[in-house]
Chain A
Amino acid sequence: MADNDNNLFEENGKTPNRDHNERSEVRMLSGMYENWFLDYASYVILERAVPYVEDGLKPVQRRLLHSMWEMEDGRYNKVANIIGHTMKYHPHGDASIGDALVQLGQKDLLIDCQGNWGNIYTGDSAAAPRYIEARLSKFALDVAFNPKTTPWQLSYDGRNREPITLPMKFPLLLAQGVEGIAVGLACKILPHNFNELIDASIASLRGRKTDILPDFPTAGMADFSHQGQEN
């Protein structure tokens, strides 16, 4: 009898409705949590809070720079216009894009600012985007762009292309510093002195060992005596 029954199974194994078990991948709550969580965490890590090591930019910053480069004609552009243009690449709220641009401007490196951009010493905030203006600084135009060496990808709606990373010719990440809190991971890099960075870069390009410590745009004191000195 055992034989009989086994036969039944083998026979039925071959018979039509193969897919009965396949749909049993119904997602349980734990699966949903895992899925949502990974979606959100991955996105925040990759696309929001943490900069790429290649060019030192978070996606919103890169998209701002790319937009400004596209709009670049030597004159100042209204920040509100830059924000609108950036939305072609960055499908998020205008306020968050505006804040990102102001922050970038306040570092006083890549953006040439016009109007009240706020004050990092007193914490005063910038004027509304419709008042203030910006264009790329000479420095930015020099170190950040080269279409020929830029890797491209399609923008989110498939209508435009945007850089995956910008071909940065300068250790921007170290210069600007960054603070980003993602999910499960966070990232904090202190800013460094512009001149020291250039010296260190030259030294490094010449193959010499070099050492560089953080510095702050607001000035300040730091004790690095316990820092490992070997690098």
Chain B
Amino acid sequence: MAKSGNYNEDSIKSLDWKDHIRLRPGMYIGKLGDGSSPDDGIYILLKEIIDNSIDEFVMGNGNSIDIQIKEGTVRIRDFGRGIPLGKVVDCVSKINTGAKYDSEAFKKSVGLNGVGTKAVNALASYFRVQSVREGKTKVAEFEKGELKKDERVKDTDEQDGTIISFRPDDTVFVNYHYINEYVEKMLWNYAYLNTGLTLWYNGNKIKSDNGLLDLLQKNLSGTIVYPIIHLRGQDIEVAMTHSDSQYVEEYFSFVNGQHTTQGGTHQSAFREAVVKVIRDFLKKDYEAVDIRTSIVAAVSVKVQEPVFESQTKTKLGSQDVAPGGTSMRSFVYDFLKQALDNYLHKNPEAADAMHRKIIQSERERKELSGIQKLARERAKKANLHNRKLRDCRVHLTDMKDERRLQSTLFITEGDSASGSITKARDVNSQAVFSLKGKPLNSYGLTKKVVYENEEFNLIQAALDIEEGLENLRYNNVVVATDADVDGMHIRLLLLTFFLQFFPDLVKNGHVYILQTPLFRVRNKKETIYCYSEDERRKAIQKLGGKPEITRFKGLGEISPDEFKHFIGKDIRLEPVILGSGSNIPELLSYYMGKNSMDRQEFIISNLRVEKDVEETLTA
């Protein structure tokens, strides 16, 4: 180690708990963010508080939780037993204080270190806790973890429970905002996993009677082959069916109430077990892919001391269900072997429907395999030289390179644009794929088109997503079309392609839209890039006189030097987010399918007329 001057007793610091949390919030709540992404810190704060209320519910105390978010302030009230009044302040402000260390019931919860509430307290500009127990109540208020008000115990006629209100500190969560869709989704997951619990979100009731069955039902789009199979066992719950309208497998997996969006050992155990059980039941060795094609399933397991592969707890790594217990694989298999096998025996209609679906998948796969072979050969060539792709050095699959998360593929419209981007890009992390003209409208076509259409095939090869997302080569897939109406059309067509055949790419948040300026307004001194008509009007006003106005009709008009600003540090990306309950097949068929009276009506009543009357600009 380098000998740096003053390393003595004074350099050793012992941080107060709240200072430590505020200094290293990432250790406690993952990332900070401003709330644009569902794993941003402000949602974790919410979750930490609700988790405690859920634990009360699990213990059999109070079956409703009231959540209100107004103007960025959160209030959560449960009807549990309430924190023992003498320990209210300790419980929210003394680290490693809690009741969950020795109780059996809490062994299978996600967080049990007694840190959650304290982290919220320390990261809130205002924090208020109130506990009601048997006609008595106690209130304490904090600011950034600092105790500001410690009221005495008073009498009350309120129902027992705990009420916590807090306002995230906006010096930590700069410009934060809660997005309703994310909160609702999170609360619905609580409801699915805790049947019998009612959550009230800003006065709206969120309750599920059938758990994972409801979850699947709500997330299903299109028709299904047989009614959802819903199985419950000790520490495991499963709901599954085969979809009639999507090819890909889709899983919703949970561990101790935590949504593991990236799956993990429990999910792969389920995938494996399903195949085994169904094969045994049908007494025929179908290919695993045929059995799993179109499967939609939700799996929830409870595990003791779960191990996660990532800090944000989105991928389970536990090999066993409890330290030294049975392995995850045999746990899931044993359960399915019994429950699913029984179900199929008892419900021959569902079993038949499933069997037919598997045979159909097998037939379709064999039909495809001819073309696939051809396409693979073509793809091999494409991998050596994908003539539409200008590749970059670092890819998402280069696990050792820290820039892998920056790897970006720009899908541009026409060669005129790709030239500029290719010149302006960062060769290490930014690749360019150029489309020629408008891609095919892939709505309603079968997967065959991905192999037959050269452009689609090359995109698939460039991203390397034929077998799923594991090999995805770029973390960000950026659609960089012109900002004109034809560009909008290409966005529609391209997104339709992804949603049809690679919905996971969009669901996992890899797809973005590049925002580029519509106009450049400049005079001799200043240049302003405008991203909307409105900005243009303002820019003309600001520069006065007769500025030169260039409309960027195509990205080809932007010279490489200018382009550097638009794809460099200040890149403006708009993420493509699937809203909660957004029904993709419905959306696609409405906008991309056959014309309907509805749609005609919709267009006519929403026509966008853009007129520049002379006066507004010369003024």
Contacts and interface: CB of A to CB of B under 8 A. Distances in A.
Interface of A: 1-2, 4-5, 8-9, 12-13, 15, 17-24, 26-46, 91, 152-154, 156-159, 161, 164, 183-185
A43 B578 contact: no
B485 interface: yes
Contacts of B485: 39-40, 43-44
A185 B603 contact: yes
Interface stretch (B214-222, B358-366, B611-619): B611-619
Interface majority SS (helix, strand, loop, mixed), chain A: helix
Given A5-B130, A23-B175, A184-B599, 17 more contacts: A1-B139, A12-B167, A13-B70, A17-B170, A24-B177, A27-B574, A28-B577, A30-B582, A32-B513, A36-B492, A37-B488, A38-B603, A39-B485, A40-B489, A43-B608, A45-B607, A158-B540
Contacts of A22: 177
Contacts of B68: 9
Candidate in B130, B176, B181, B603 with the most chain A CB atoms within 10 angstroms: B603
A84 to B, nearest CB: 16
B613 to A, nearest CB: 7
Contact of A12 (B73, B587, B603): B73
Contacts of A32: 491, 495, 513, 574, 576
B139 A4 contact: yes
A33 B165 contact: no
B468 interface: no
Contacts of B577: 26-29
Given A153-B611, A154-B612, A184 B578 contact: no
Interface of B: 35-36, 68, 70-73, 75, 77, 126, 128, 130, 132, 137, 139, 156, 158, 163, 165, 167, 170, 175-181, 485-486, 488-489, 491-492, 495, 506, 513, 540, 549-551, 553, 574, 576-579, 582, 584, 587, 591, 595, 599-600, 602-604, 606-609, 611-614, 617
9 contacts: A5-B165, A9-B75, A21-B72, A24-B180, A28-B582, A32-B574, A46-B607, A153-B613, A154-B617
A219 to B, nearest CB: 33
A24 to B, nearest CB: 5
Contacts of A43: 485, 608
A155 B513 CA distance: 28
Contacts of A42: 603, 606-609
A39 B576 CA distance: 18
Contact of A46 (B132, B492, B513, B609): B609
Given A26-B577, A157-B549, A184-B600, A9 B513 contact: no
B614 A152 contact: yes
Q: Can you list the 4 inter-chain pairs with the closest CB atoms, starting with the nearest?
A: A28-B579, A20-B72, A43-B485, A36-B488
